């Protein structure tokens, strides 16, 4: 009997210690993509070490695994996009698009429509009646719809072909098994370096933004931490923007920048931390609403979190 009581007590203690360890660490989910570079730089340079709570980066192989971890409270934040945050918010999960990682300006984080190297398709107008490989209900489809509209083409002008896996979409494009595909950089640049035809990108209208999404409950409890976190994050951005060449090895190692374009790939400066604009949020929400994807209404204000990027003034000393 005593052994059973001792065993039970030990299990309770271990469970308590596990919960305590979780509470004492900030867990941020990232994908091995260029957009995650500031986080890896901050980790490598030790910028997160002085923070009041340790930061742990958790790398996921897919957005599906990452989103599942956030929904089950295994993450406090994750690197994603406005669409994923809005969908989670509409389903009752307390997601907040706190800061833009890439996409503050049109040149950051490009998405492009490309055709195979041997294809006669050389312009968007050539795509009429042809297939475009996408992942539906994601930023990929959103960019396609936006680019078609921007170029005066109705959405119905093309046939959307579902290929969720980006690597498979890339391979099928390069082998000529599909008419065209929407790809993010750096895979879009890799495809072009291998002969694919660049039909259009969102470098003018800035359709795509990568954002850092936080759990609203965490924000309410740790605003002071978040202000310090973003100071550390901005230090990493400064390092990157000052010397792109100096972080290329990290791009290859952590962000899986393809080796054939490791030295030639040109990427834009990263912006300092700031919230997404209401205009960008409203545009995405209108698209989601038009497709009937929102379980309940979501407004731009529901996704924003204010006053996280300025340190509050110190109280005045009494005479």
Judged against a pLDDT cut of 80, whether residue 28 lies above it is answered with yes
Q: What is the pLDDT of residue 310?
A: 57
> Is the per-residue pLDDT at 294 higher than 70?
yes
Residue 37 has pLDDT above 90, yes or no: yes
* Rg of the chain taking only CA atoms, in angstroms: 22
Report the distance separating Cα 113 and Cα 17, nearest Å: 50
Decide the pairing of beta strands 181-184 and 159-162.
unpaired
Q: What does the alpha-carbon distance between residue 247 and residue 266 come to, in Å, rounded to a whole number?
A: 12
CATH class of 2-104+208-303: alpha beta
Mapped onto helix, strand or coil, the DSSP state of residue 147 is helix
Q: Distance between CA atoms of 21 and 18, rounded to whole angstroms?
A: 5
Sign (positive or negative) of CA dihedral 177, 179, 185, 186? positive
Burial zone of 296 (CB within 10 Å; 0-12 exposed, 13-18 middle, 19+ buried): exposed
Tell me which CATH code domain 111-201 carries: 3.40.190.10
Residue 287 scores a pLDDT above 50: yes
Beta bridge mates, 182: 113
pLDDT at 319 over 50: no
Q: Residue 20 above 70 pLDDT?
A: no
* Secondary structure (DSSP) of 64-106: HHHHHHHHTTS-SEEEEEHHHHHHHHHTT--EEEEEEEE-SST
What angle do helix axes 37-45 and 223-242 make, rounded to 10 degrees? 100
Tokens describing residue 34:
């260029």
pLDDT tens, 84-100?
999 999 999 999 999 99
DSSP 3-state assignment of 110?
coil
Task: Return d(Cα 253, Cα 306) in angstroms, integer.
Answer: 35
- Strand partners of residue 96: 214
According to DSSP, residue 31 is labeled -
The pair of three-digit structure tokens given for residue 110, joined into one six-digit string = 């490009």
pTM: 0.86
The pLDDT of residue 107: 83
**Average pLDDT of the chain to the nearest whole number:** 89
What's the confidence (pLDDT) of residue 316?
47
Q: Concatenated DSSP letters for 242-290?
A: H-SGGGHHHHHHHS---GGGTTT---PPPPPS-PPPHHHHHHHHHHHHH
Q: Say whether pLDDT at 117 is over 80.
A: yes
Fold match, 2-104+208-303 / 111-201:
yes
Assign 294 to helix, strand or coil: coil
Q: Where are the domains of the chain?
A: 2-104+208-303, 111-201
The predicted pLDDT at position 201 comes to: 93
């Amino acid at each position: 009997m005593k052994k059973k009581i001792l065993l039970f007590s030990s299990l309770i203690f271990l469970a308590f210690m596990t919960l305590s360890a979780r509470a004492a660490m900030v867990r941020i989910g990232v994908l091995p993509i260029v957009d995650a570079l500031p986080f890896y730089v901050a980790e490598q340079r030790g910028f997160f070490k002085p923070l009041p709570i340790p930061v742990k980066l958790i790398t996921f192989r897919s957005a599906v695994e990452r989103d599942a971890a956030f929904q089950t409270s295994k993450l406090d934040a994750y690197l994603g996009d406005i669409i994923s945050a809005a969908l989670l918010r509409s389903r009752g999960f307390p997601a907040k698009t706190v800061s833009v990682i890439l996409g503050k300006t049109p040149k950051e984080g490009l998405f492009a429509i490309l055709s195979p190297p041997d294809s006669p398709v050389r312009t968007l107008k050539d795509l009429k009646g042809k297939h475009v490989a996408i992942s539906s209900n994601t930023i990929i489809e959103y960019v396609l719809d936006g680019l078609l509209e921007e170029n005066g083409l109705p959405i119905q002008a093309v046939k959307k072909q579902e290929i969720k896996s980006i690597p498979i979409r890339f391979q099928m494009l390069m082998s000529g098994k599909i008419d065209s595909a929407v790809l993010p950089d750096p895979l879009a640049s890799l495809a072009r370096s291998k002969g694919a035809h660049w039909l259009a990108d969102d470098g003018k209208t800035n359709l795509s933004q990568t954002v850092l999404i936080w759990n609203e409950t965490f924000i309410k409890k740790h605003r002071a931490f978040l202000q310090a976190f973003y100071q550390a994050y901005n230090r990493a951005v400064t390092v990157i923007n000052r010397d792109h060449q100096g972080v290329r090895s990290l791009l290859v190692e952590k962000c899986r920048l393809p080796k054939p374009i490791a030295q030639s790939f040109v990427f834009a400066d990263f912006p300092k931390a700031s919230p997404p604009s209401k205009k960008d949020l409203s545009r995405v929400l209108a698209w989601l609403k038009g497709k009937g994807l929102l379980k309940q209404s979501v407004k731009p204000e529901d996704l924003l979190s204010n006053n996280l990027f300025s340190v509050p003034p110190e109280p005045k000393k009494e005479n």
